[in-house]
Structure 1
Amino acid sequence: MNKMGTITGFTFKNKVKTKSFMVTTIVLALLITIGLNVPYFITLFNGGSIGGGASGSNPVNIGVLTTEQQDVAQKLENFSSAQGNQAYRLIMGGDKDEAALKEDVNKGVIDGYLKLETVQGQEFPKPVLYSSDDISPQIITSLEAALQSVKLDVVVKDVLTAEQKALITTPVKLTAQSLSTDEGEAGAGSEKSMSPINYIVVYLLIILLFTSTMMTGNMIASEITAEKSSRIMEILITSVSPLSQMFGKIIGIFMVGLLQIGIFGAVVAGNIMLPHNRAVLGDLNMSVNDINIAVIVYGLIFYILGYFLYAVMFAAIGSMVSRTEELGQAVLPITMLSLVSFYIAIFSISTPNILLLKIASFIPFTSPTAILVRIGAGVAPTWEILLSLAILAVSILIFGWLAAKIYRTGVLMYGKRPTFKELFKAMKAYKI
């Protein structure tokens, strides 16, 4: 155990100090930072916040031309004020004519102005919104809803009560519920779809799990193959047991991957907490507080177990290859398994109740990503999550035992890759 700890520490320090690790980490951290701040950069290039929508703390100022249709304009202002926190703020023009309001737009006093044009033969005026820049669709939708409510008030006058008017203007919300979902815990979760912020979190976790597993797995295989091809393995095998070597390298590189994920997580969290990014999330009706903590917790657990499952297979394959040039072809089957797991989850993220995803949740090679989609959507009962974890843990023990026997045999076999028959005979002679 002490020797395995030494190998773990040596592998971790050796990989962290490499230029490839430092450059990759810095470049990916910069790309993440740029990607998360793209909306803010677009806003800066557009010359302000008018094109990107505004939050409640920085509303878009819209003037209202009141020289005509004063009664309608006042009703609109009263309705908008009663809504509380709005993305826009109406500023009554008073005695200002249209030319004065245009001047205010040019000076930046207001972002645009609303003109209520009288139409002959119609009781309600035609609203036209003028602005020097594009007003965001969210603000236009809010203004249309306010105008619709005022129009109803103007047309029906005193025929309806305030309660009846409110009932008519309240939009109908349709709730969808799947009949295919199991009763009990999953039934309650099926009444709501995955929230946008949780959708993004699950999507990022799937990509992270796939890329991290592939990077660290290939790192393990290439290091073992490199040691074997340079004959260093013959020296190591005399001082450290093959089992300690294999798991020492796996744990050491796992710590490297975990460190990299921690750095990326800190970069993402730091960028999301910036004021301008919080405002963007608010415009998209997303909040960090809506993130399902279970997705993060289970995502970390399944990442760790999924990593060890693939890592022991990469180590076994690496031990069977004598030259690094042959490694890419040798690890192709494992890469294909990982790709299948990735694509099943990505293409099913919008339909978490399909049969394929349910079956994949209990197959150890695909369960780390498949069950994560169902957890994010709230359609995976606790017993299914625990069963998936148990199957994955047992699979790690089985494949770990098998990989240890292959590693012990493969590291001392040079030349062409051994056949399954040769490998099986050599494995029978070795007892763990």
Structure 2
Amino acid sequence: MAFSQHNLGTVIGFEFMRTIKKKGFAIATLSIPILMVVLFVLIYASNSSTEASADAQKNSELSFSYTDASGIIPPGMAQAAGGKTASDPETALAAVKDGSSEAYFAYPADPSAEPVKVYGTDVGMFENGKYEAVAKQLLNAAAQTQVDNPQLTAALAGTVNFESETYRDGKLSGGVGSVIPPMLFLVLFYVAMILLSNQMLNSTLEEKENRVTEMILTTLNPTTLITGKVISLFAVGLVQMLVFLTPIAAGYLFFRDSLALPDMDLSTLVFEPMPLIIGALLLLGGFTLFTGVLVAIGAIMPTAKEAGTIFGPLMAAMFIPFYTFSLIISDPKSLIVQVFTYFPLTAPVTAMLRNGFGTLSGVEATIVIAELFIVGALILRLAVHLFRYGSIEYGKKLSIAGTFRRKELASR
């Protein structure tokens, strides 16, 4: 018994020391804390800049035009709030649509019976509420000065209805209904990565672990092999996504009542072409990038166990942007959001979030999409190179620099 316990201690000590002495263990162990420190520093810097911007805007006023069929809004009070009287409602609305005016409020003859119409330029789903807030505040302030007016008494009682519309590029914005369709690409990206990440990693590891790479490379070009593996991964991903979505769609369409599923009004969804195209390209670009990275890791590492030390932190990069979700939707110009938008490993998720909420400009989308495809293609080329010159490195991690030196010697 004592001998068995001695052997147990020997095994524990040997395995523990062997694991913690590996460079990969140190990288994997320290990478997450380092990333978190960098994340907190960026969040602090972004919050500081956001607070400074908010302080600078405290005294700024919303510039709006208004018409008052009831005559209950004092002109001086409206002017003090940043408003000016509009002579023609159609002209005032047209100014909002073309962006030359921030907002237009149309107060009806009887606010207690008819809704107040609020029109504004689209500045983001979470910022558009300021228009209705200003229109309501102005009406309530007028009510405070005329408490004997029954129409304004209704305003104080909160029974006045407000109908809001926002416009972007001369067209009516879709609100929440326009956010959901582009965000589906983010859901598909996560589903694809969760289902396929291990297959991507093992696509080049399997041959190395089975010691058959030399035989394969005698009949196949490495570029052909890696390209075929990547295309097959795309095809497998498409099949898995269809299999994943089919029962959900079938259950909702045919068994909604028996499964007690909520009845969704799909007519409220707004399918805007440009955000959908951008979302699809970001999905493909992000998939290409992560596929290239995982295939390259598989070409470098000798075993799946060794590759797992890098696999975990890499997958964590996909979820890091959600730590800054509030900044992504409320302050997309902040430092940390800009860093996450253009850093390759966080760019797909951050850009898809911003695309869904309408804060990703066309120029930014073009840059991020080009970056994802270019970096992804370069990493795939690197993976081909590593597989070609490191296919027989079975017992140790492949040296990237060593493969390039080997290539130079081979070319002489």
TM-score of Structure 1 vs Structure 2, range by shorter chain: 0.5 to 0.7
Equivalent residues in 2 for 1:249-268, closer than 5 Å: 249-268=229-248
- Within the alignment, does 1:170 sit opposite 2:160 as a pair? yes
- Within the alignment, does 1:357 sit opposite 2:337 as a pair? yes
Q: CA deviation at 1:344?
A: 5.3
Residue ranges of structure 2 left out of the alignment (5+ in a row): 1-112, 115-148
Q: Which amino acid aligns with 2:405?
A: K
Structure 2 equivalent of residue 402 of structure 1:
382
- Within the alignment, does 1:239 sit opposite 2:219 as a pair? yes
Q: CA deviation at 1:223?
A: 3.3
Kept in 1, the 8 Å contact 2:341–2:368? The answer is yes
Select which of 300, 303, 322 maps to 1:343.
Answer: 322
Equivalent residues in 2 for 1:254-403, closer than 5 Å: 254-273=234-253, 280-282=263-265, 287=267, 289-340=269-320, 342-343=321-322, 346=325, 348=327, 350-351=329-330, 353-355=332-334, 356-403=336-383
Give the structure-1-normalised TM-score. 0.50
Structure 2 equivalent of residue 128 of structure 1:
none
Q: Distance in 2 between matches of 1:337 and 1:427?
A: 32
Q: Distance in 2 between matches of 1:192 and 1:312?
A: 37
Q: Which amino acid aligns with 1:208?
A: L
* Identity value in percent: 20
Q: Which amino acid aligns with 2:307?
A: L
Q: Distance in 2 between matches of 1:338 and 1:430?
A: 39
Q: Distance in 1 between matches of 2:174 and 2:332?
A: 11
Q: Which amino acid aligns with 2:161?
A: P
Q: Across the two proteins, how many residue pairs are aligned to each other? A: 262
Change (3 A) 1:322 1:353: closer
Structure 2 equivalent of residue 144 of structure 1:
none
Q: Is 354-363 or 399-408 further displaced after alignment?
A: 354-363
Give the structure-2-normalised TM-score. 0.53
Change (3 A) 1:223 1:396: closer
Once the two structures are superposed, residues 302-355 of structure 1 have per-residue CA deviations (whole angstroms, 9 ceiling, x without a partner) of 111111111111111111222233221143443243333x53575556436352
Kept in 2, the 8 Å contact 1:176–1:192? The answer is yes
Kept in 2, the 8 Å contact 1:214–1:335? The answer is no
Equivalent residues in 2 for 1:131-170, closer than 5 Å: 169-170=159-160
- What is the root-mean-square deviation in Å for CA atoms of aligned residues? 4.1
Secondary structure of the structure 1 residue equivalent to 2:343: coil
- Within the alignment, does 1:416 sit opposite 2:406 as a pair? no
Once the two structures are superposed, residues 270-326 of structure 1 have per-residue CA deviations (whole angstroms, 9 ceiling, x without a partner) of 4454665897334xxx74533545444332221111111111111111112222332
Kept in 2, the 8 Å contact 1:206–1:345? The answer is no
Q: CA deviation at 1:428?
A: 4.1
Kept in 2, the 8 Å contact 1:206–1:346? The answer is no
Kept in 2, the 8 Å contact 1:352–1:373? The answer is no
Q: Which amino acid aligns with 2:263?
A: V
Q: Distance in 1 between matches of 2:262 and 2:399?
A: 60
Q: Distance in 2 between matches of 1:345 and 1:237?
A: 45
Change (3 A) 1:348 1:244: farther
Q: Distance in 1 between matches of 2:310 and 2:155?
A: 68
Q: Distance in 2 between matches of 1:278 and 1:354?
A: 39
Change (3 A) 1:344 1:244: farther
Select which of 168, 191, 201 maps to 1:221.
Answer: 201
Q: Which amino acid aligns with 2:359?
A: V
Q: CA deviation at 1:421?
A: 4.0
Q: Which has the larger radius of gyration?
A: 1
Q: Is 205-214 or 253-262 further displaced after alignment?
A: 205-214
Kept in 2, the 8 Å contact 1:198–1:290? The answer is yes
Once the two structures are superposed, residues 110-143 of structure 1 have per-residue CA deviations (whole angstroms, 9 ceiling, x without a partner) of xxxxxxxxxxxxxxxxxxxxxxxxxxxxxxxxxx
Select which of 381, 406, 409 maps to 1:426.
Answer: 406
Q: Which amino acid aligns with 2:233?
A: I
Q: CA deviation at 1:245?
A: 0.9
Q: Distance in 1 between matches of 2:271 and 2:253?
A: 14
Q: Which amino acid aligns with 1:251?
A: I
Q: Which amino acid aligns with 2:381?
A: W
Change (3 A) 1:272 1:281: same
Kept in 2, the 8 Å contact 1:309–1:395? The answer is yes
- Within the alignment, does 1:212 sit opposite 2:192 as a pair? yes
Once the two structures are superposed, residues 36-82 of structure 1 have per-residue CA deviations (whole angstroms, 9 ceiling, x without a partner) of xxxxxxxxxxxxxxxxxxxxxxxxxxxxxxxxxxxxxxxxxxxxxx9
Structure 2 equivalent of residue 20 of structure 1:
none
Once the two structures are superposed, residues 65-113 of structure 1 have per-residue CA deviations (whole angstroms, 9 ceiling, x without a partner) of xxxxxxxxxxxxxxxxx99xxxxxxxxxxxxxxxxxxxxxxxxxxxxxx
Structure 1 equivalent of residue 27 of structure 2:
none
Equivalent residues in 2 for 1:108-127, closer than 5 Å: none
Q: Following TM superposition, where does structure 1 have runs of at least 4 consecutive aligned residues deviating by more than 6 angstroms?
A: 163-168, 174-177
Q: CA deviation at 1:425?
A: 2.1
Kept in 1, the 8 Å contact 2:186–2:283? The answer is no
Q: CA deviation at 1:411?
A: 1.6
Once the two structures are superposed, residues 234-262 of structure 1 have per-residue CA deviations (whole angstroms, 9 ceiling, x without a partner) of 21110001111111111101110012223
Kept in 1, the 8 Å contact 2:386–2:400? The answer is no
Q: Is 272-281 or 223-232 further displaced after alignment?
A: 272-281
Kept in 1, the 8 Å contact 2:302–2:394? The answer is yes
Residue ranges of structure 1 left out of the alignment (5+ in a row): 1-81, 84-158, 178-183
Change (3 A) 1:160 1:216: closer
